[in-house]
Amino acid sequence: MSRNILTSSIKNASFSIVFQILFRCITFLLNAFIIRHVGQTVLGIMNVRLLLLESTILFLSREPIFKACLTDTKSHNWAQVVNQIWLTVPLTGIISLLFVYVWMHVLSATEDIYLLQYQYGCVAIAVSCVIDQMTQSVVLVAQSFCFVRLKVILDTIYVMSRTIIFVVIVMRYPHYAIHAFSIAQVLSSIIYCLTHYGFFYWYIDELQKRANEEKNSIFSNMQDFPFKSILELFPCVMQNDGRFLDIQLCKLTVSFFKQCIVKQILTEGERYVMTISPVLTFSEQSVYDIVNNLGSLAARFIFRPIEESGYFYFTQIIKRGEPIIGQDRKLVLEASTVLSQLCRVVTSIGLLVVTFGQSYSYTLLNLYGGKVLTDDPLPSTLLQFHCIAVLLLAINGVTECYVFATMSDRQLDRYNYIMVIFSVIFLLISYILTSICGSVGFILANCVNMTARIAHSIYYITNTYRNTRYKPLSGAVPTGGFVIALILSGILTKISQYKIESGSIVNHILIGTICFTLTISVWTYENRNLLRIGIEKYRRGSSTKID
């Protein structure tokens, strides 16, 4: 393909960060609206029980096939890939039937007043997941051919439509909030599907008419675009000279499927423990979920887009399963440098969260939920501990995205067994610590889990580059000036919390803003070369018109 993979990955990460900020701001305000006007129990049912059902269905049915199909897109037989990605639809249907039954008849029941709405919610989640999977062929094509802005625009439309539909119904019928949630899920999925297919119907038609006429148009660099009709994005339509499916991608999918089962448990483990065992009520679950979402703002805003773009970048640059020494030296150097700088960025952000989170957790909860979240000191304690988990989550996300992007099939299978061990240990520790420490136990168990996964990733990366001159993990060590700035900021903001916040929350926030600005200034000065390279790559990407 003629597109620059690194530039497109940087643009994808930057646009995704903007989208995640918008999405989380909307979710932030929506949760505040729900907890103040509808109630904590309803929020717990929607945000923990129903969204966990959606996450479970989508992760197991979509993630393995999508990740496999995203590997080395330059070499794809697209007829086989389209056939394979459409397997997610029947797979989602089967998985949905299984888990909807479990959610409705096996797990602990909700209160009678919410039972009928909850059952409708389970069915609505399953329907929206199937609709979402019908969109995956166009989503895969959009990402493979670097339609960066398209992804952000359509994802924004999806989130805005879901939010608006939900709020409009709840404002009119506040006692039917779960029904509103269900309707919003289904309708927004339909909008998401139709907008994707609508764009590519227009794009393919225009590409056929204008590709050879306008050298500087958005179509001029897409001569390798393989689709000549929107129908070719459906299975068994595109001309295929080989087998129905790509056998190598099937094997890779099986490896990712094993991995995804375990990763889902590790990612959503605390919600599964909450859902399966009666350690917390729905109301307590909602409080934990709010704190978890607030504590994960940096992870969702920044770390996840960086991880997704990093995974795509490394899959295209480094050949999976082949020794580093035998690969293109220029590409290996570039990949090593990118990994090092990604580690530097996410570690620095994680340290900022830890430093300022200790002094501003109570402030954030007070502004967000008022007395509902601050009368009890537990939410503030939860958020402070969660800040430490964010640092570990940041390091794990970047290192693990490299590991998953470069491991061979055999290595992935071997790692799946290691992940099984991590999962079992994590669930046991979660249950034990939660019984002893309450909600804090979930966060402590996550910290143990992340530390173990980071250790494995460090071992793999170090072993990969053992006989080379590259040190891709060196970026994870923060610079001296930045560390000193963090320590001073932590001391000053802690003093402000105890001496100033009770008298003036505005002055407390002002002191934090000044300390944060000075700390960022120190980091910017020490990493000015990194910022210069990043800006140059972004501008180079903006000068092309292929997204």
pLDDT tens, residue by residue, 424-461: 888 888 888 887 877 788 888 889 989 999 999 999 89
* Mean pLDDT of the region 387-410: 88
Q: What angle do helix axes 304-317 and 329-369 make, rounded to 10 degrees? A: 170
Residues in the chain: 547
* pLDDT at residue 3 tops 70: no
pLDDT category at 522 given cuts 50, 70, 90 is very high
Of 530 and 182, which is predicted with more confidence? 182
* Mean pLDDT of the region 328-336: 85
**pLDDT value for 474:** 82
List of residues 6+ apart from 297 with CB closer than 8 A: 24, 28
How remote is the C-alpha of 140 from its chain's centroid? Answer: 16
pLDDT category at 542 given cuts 50, 70, 90 is very low
For 313, 378, 402, 425, 547, the CA distances from 288, given in Å and listed in that order, are: 35, 10, 31, 22, 39
Question: 460 near 403, Cβ under 8 Å?
Answer: yes
Alpha helices in 102-246, H assignment, sequence order: 112-133, 136-144, 148-172, 177-210
**pLDDT value for 545:** 39
**pLDDT value for 493:** 93
Residue 70's nearest CA partner among 310, 392, 242 is: 310
* Interval 186-218: pLDDT, tens: 999 999 999 999 999 988 888 777 655 555 555
Token duo for residue 364: 């954030």
List of residues 6+ apart from 121 with CB closer than 8 A: 45, 46, 50, 178, 179, 181, 182
Q: What span, in angstroms and rounded, lies between the C-alpha atoms of 123 and 209?
A: 43
pTM (two decimals): 0.65
Q: What is the DSSP letter of 479?
A: P
Q: What span, in angstroms and rounded, lies between the C-alpha atoms of 256 and 233?
A: 23
- Residue that has been written with the tokens 């170090």 in this structure: 462
pLDDT category at 537 given cuts 50, 70, 90 is low
**pLDDT value for 2:** 39
- Residue that has been written with the tokens 């964010």 in this structure: 390
Question: 264 near 59, Cβ under 8 Å?
Answer: yes
Burial pattern 395-421, b for ≥16 Cβ within 10 A else e, equals: bbbbbbbbbbbbbeeebbeebbeebee
**pLDDT value for 337:** 87
* Interval 41-70: pLDDT, tens: 787 788 788 988 998 898 888 888 887 887
For 280, 389, 446, 512, the CA distances from 382, given in Å and listed in that order, are: 14, 11, 13, 20
Name the region of 146 (left: φ>0; alpha: ψ -120 to 50; beta: rest).
Answer: left
Q: What span, in angstroms and rounded, lies between the C-alpha atoms of 275 and 48?
A: 8
* pLDDT at residue 220 tops 70: no
For the chain, percent of residues with pLDDT exceeding 90:
20
Residue 494's nearest CA partner among 318, 365, 355 is: 355
